[in-house]
Structure 1
Amino acid sequence: MDGIAKGIRRIVAVTGNEAHEVQQVAKDFDALLDSIAKLPFGEAKEKQLKETNTKLGQLSISVLQKAALKTKFTKIEKSVKDEVKARTKADSKLCLDSVKNYFTENPDAKYFVSHVNISSNAKIITEAINLVKKQHKEKSLFLITGLKNDSKVAQGTYLSNEHLKKLPATDVATLASKFIGGRAGGKGNVVQGMGTEAAGVDEAIDAVTKLLSEKL
């Protein structure tokens, strides 16, 4: 067994055909990063970035080449994170404004049922529920978020204390799940969940609207 004295570093180098192959690996990976950077923002781009990050760590190339590729990867990753942050902020505003405007324009309405055409985001639904609990606690709310071409949607139900006496919040969520799939959970006034059938959003909205009109 070879031994390396303390404080001594082993340097591994390749020449000839092996050196050319290593350079080609780095070149191909650089081209892969370029192709990912050109992808439109979305789930596919985020997924490829995650997979590429793992591959980057496993590359057997020179230290300098790997450092350059990591720098390039980090730049692309930051642009995606910035885009996610900006879109989430815009989506949150759109959702909250839709709830605020509805109850402002319909002060006698007992509830608001809506599909907000933004990326599926349970956190944004929670924000909307908290808004109603704070500013319109006598009202009820059912929201679905998710783009119709996405693979998932989010749903959330809030029933006021008075409405909860007439209808369990779990019944609302369970009904919606029949059309959008997935499951929902919670207790008391609030029930939330995720679904996998975006094509059923309109049917879920219609069914929940009918249920609330009959029960509340």
Structure 2
Amino acid sequence: MAEEQKIEVDMPAFDQKFLDFRELSKGGPNLRTSKDMTLKANECDKLINAMSLKITDDSMKYDWESKGEGSERKAKILAIYDGQAFITSCNSSSDVVGLVFDQSPLYAEQGGQTFDKAAVTSSSGVEFAVNDAQKYAGYVLHVGVVGSAGDLKVGDGVTVRVDFERRALIAKNHTATHILNYALRQVLGEKVDQKGSLCDAEKLRFDFAHNKPIEGDELKRIEDICNQQIQKAHTVHFREVALDKAKAITGMRAVFGETYPDPVRVVSVGPKIDDLLSDKSTSWGSQSSIEFCGGTHVANASEIYKFVLLAEEGVAKGIRRIVAVTGAQAAVEAVLRAKSFSSDLEAAVGYRPGAQMDRFIGELRTSVGQDKEVSLLMKREMLGQLDALKEVSIKAGKEQTKEFERKAKEAGEQLGKEAASSSGKTFVGVVDAGAGCDDAKMLGLAIELVAKAATEKAILLLSNAGGKCAILALVPKAASGLSAKEWTGKVLDAIGGKGGGKDDRAMGQVQDPSKLDEALKIAKAYP
């Protein structure tokens, strides 16, 4: 058009403007929720009867290249809606408005596929960002905001440029739901019925009838079948077919409760539509993905690139949900996130069994379990490895604890001999049951043996082998004038620790194990 009018177009500047519009349109969901733009029955009646407008011709929505390219389209503004009434014009101060065109290349949200976004420019240069597209009684409402100076008016001619790159991402996910539906029936049986779906630019979600969680080996087969169909590079065929003929396709499955138009659009991943209609002996539905669908799809299954499961969960009684991603970037990121966790898992193997390893395993298990963007199969494998590592840690921990206890008792017996032969009313000793032990617990085991060997002595034991500096004091009735609480209190005050107890038994600790020598000195100076 510009060439016909001998007007030179600055394409780099135009492309930058379009990118600016794409950034502006990212605020779409927030704009949509800030204002109810639904065309209710009264508004639809006005369009039909009072304004005598024909429904929007959106047949051109299928005219595009599924790798992310498409042409601009011309349209005319027939109506402008501000959320309460139809108005004759709008501008940048008008907040969110909805435009009704005579024809539209946008896909309005329906059938589980999200809406298209687009940049609209009037013949006078006024820009409008379409953040949402919904269909009411056949009218496509293009919801968005005016992004430049000037007015948009009813009757204005506009140029519409769909964000085809975004639509290409949606198409990958939409076609993948069809393949997933086929894979589910292959693995779980024909009883699987679709109960809902959602396809946007980031992911796909598919709800289906199944009365129990899907086992790990079943999930792997489902993901494998999907990727096999993608790797086979099946052509995706689609055509409008008379409803009765479409329903007669052997093995054809329709969504329960769905009302289909006549003619209905048949989408087949692999087999040609002519073959589906002519060959009545082949059970097409059990061999390939064949569905009634009005959405936009890739031209070839290879465009999906890869299918990666992210989640499988129950959403209602007898209803399961699968979430997955497709495309090079999303699929690779899901796998890379899993590999990042795998590196952390390898690091966990290097920890010594005990509290430190248990803590690391617990933190990693929580991180892996909560991550919603990581490959589900790899996640489950890692969780299984973490559980196995936990079992090893528990077993090794029990064996190590027995060794700690043996050393603590051995130390108690030795210290008991020293206490029995020492002079004075008090005895102070150090217990070393081994690195990583529970200092407080080991002191308890040791002090009982010391007390048996030296029944009339006040005893205070210390330990820092486990990474803290712990103390425990025991004062028998025979040691009159002495207090375990007072004794430990003096030591803890000197080293900055905390504790408590009574005159006959008291304990405490400080986080810094290097305080042992100082604590030992204070303890020996008592009373």
TM over 0.5: yes
> Among residues 61, 74, 94, which one is paired with 2:407 in the alignment?
94
2:474 matched residue in structure 1: 158
Q: C-alpha separation between the residues in 2 aligned to 1:78 and 1:201?
A: 34
How far 1:201 sits from its partner (Å)? 0.8
TM value normalised by structure 2: 0.36
**Cα-to-partner distance string for 1:6-52 (whole Å, 9 max, x where unaligned):** 52322222211322211111121112101221245576544432321
The answer to whether the Cα contact below 8 Å between 2:412 and 2:431 also exists between their aligned partners in 1 is no
2:201 matched residue in structure 1: none
Note the residue ranges of structure 2 that are not aligned, 5 or more in a row: 1-111, 113-194, 197-206, 210-316
CA RMSD of the aligned region, Å?
Answer: 2.8
2:67 matched residue in structure 1: none
CA shift in 2, pair 1:41/1:180, >3 Å = farther
Q: Letter of the aligned partner of 1:86 in structure 2?
A: E
Q: Letter of the aligned partner of 2:448 in structure 1?
A: N
**Cα-to-partner distance string for 1:81-105 (whole Å, 9 max, x where unaligned):** 3333333322222222122123335
Between the aligned residues of both structures, percent identity stands at: 28
2:525 matched residue in structure 1: 210
How far 1:136 sits from its partner (Å)? 4.2
Q: Letter of the aligned partner of 1:114 in structure 2?
A: G
How far 1:181 sits from its partner (Å)? 2.4
CA shift in 2, pair 1:140/1:22, >3 Å = same
CA shift in 2, pair 1:48/1:106, >3 Å = closer
Q: C-alpha separation between the residues in 2 aligned to 1:105 and 1:31?
A: 50
Q: Does 1:19 align with 2:335?
A: no
Greater strand fraction, Structure 1 or Structure 2: 2
1:10 matched residue in structure 2: 321
Q: C-alpha separation between the residues in 2 aligned to 1:14 and 1:97?
A: 60
How far 1:120 sits from its partner (Å)? 4.5
Q: Letter of the aligned partner of 1:84 in structure 2?
A: G
TM value normalised by structure 1: 0.81
Matched residue SS, 1:193: strand
CA shift in 2, pair 1:106/1:182, >3 Å = closer
1:82 matched residue in structure 2: 395
CA shift in 2, pair 1:89/1:112, >3 Å = farther
Aligned residue pairs total 209
CA shift in 2, pair 1:85/1:154, >3 Å = farther
The answer to whether the Cα contact below 8 Å between 1:99 and 1:112 also exists between their aligned partners in 2 is no
1:33 matched residue in structure 2: 345
Q: C-alpha separation between the residues in 1 aligned to 2:365 and 2:348?
A: 12
1:168 matched residue in structure 2: 483
1:129 matched residue in structure 2: 447
2:312 matched residue in structure 1: none
Q: C-alpha separation between the residues in 2 aligned to 1:180 and 1:90?
A: 29
Q: C-alpha separation between the residues in 2 aligned to 1:167 and 1:176?
A: 14
> Among residues 472, 494, 502, which one is paired with 1:187 in the alignment?
502
Matched residue SS, 1:11: strand
Q: C-alpha separation between the residues in 2 aligned to 1:77 and 1:179?
A: 40
Matched residue SS, 1:92: helix
Q: C-alpha separation between the residues in 2 aligned to 1:77 and 1:136?
A: 42
1:59 matched residue in structure 2: 371
CA shift in 2, pair 1:82/1:121, >3 Å = farther
Matched residue SS, 1:10: strand
Q: C-alpha separation between the residues in 2 aligned to 1:195 and 1:132?
A: 23
How far 1:186 sits from its partner (Å)? 0.8
CA shift in 2, pair 1:12/1:196, >3 Å = closer
Q: Letter of the aligned partner of 2:506 in structure 1?
A: V
**Cα-to-partner distance string for 1:135-171 (whole Å, 9 max, x where unaligned):** 54323321111138x3x221100011111x2211112
Matched residue SS, 1:72: helix
Greater helix fraction, Structure 1 or Structure 2: 1
The answer to whether the Cα contact below 8 Å between 1:180 and 1:199 also exists between their aligned partners in 2 is no
The answer to whether the Cα contact below 8 Å between 1:153 and 1:180 also exists between their aligned partners in 2 is no
Q: C-alpha separation between the residues in 2 aligned to 1:131 and 1:39?
A: 33
Matched residue SS, 2:459: strand
Matched residue SS, 2:472: strand
Q: Letter of the aligned partner of 2:327 in structure 1?
A: G
CA shift in 2, pair 1:113/1:187, >3 Å = same
The answer to whether the Cα contact below 8 Å between 2:474 and 2:504 also exists between their aligned partners in 1 is yes
**Cα-to-partner distance string for 1:111-149 (whole Å, 9 max, x where unaligned):** 43122234342122222233345554323321111138x
The answer to whether the Cα contact below 8 Å between 1:153 and 1:197 also exists between their aligned partners in 2 is yes
2:180 matched residue in structure 1: none
Q: C-alpha separation between the residues in 1 aligned to 2:375 and 2:412?
A: 55
How far 1:78 sits from its partner (Å)? 2.7
CA shift in 2, pair 1:98/1:9, >3 Å = closer
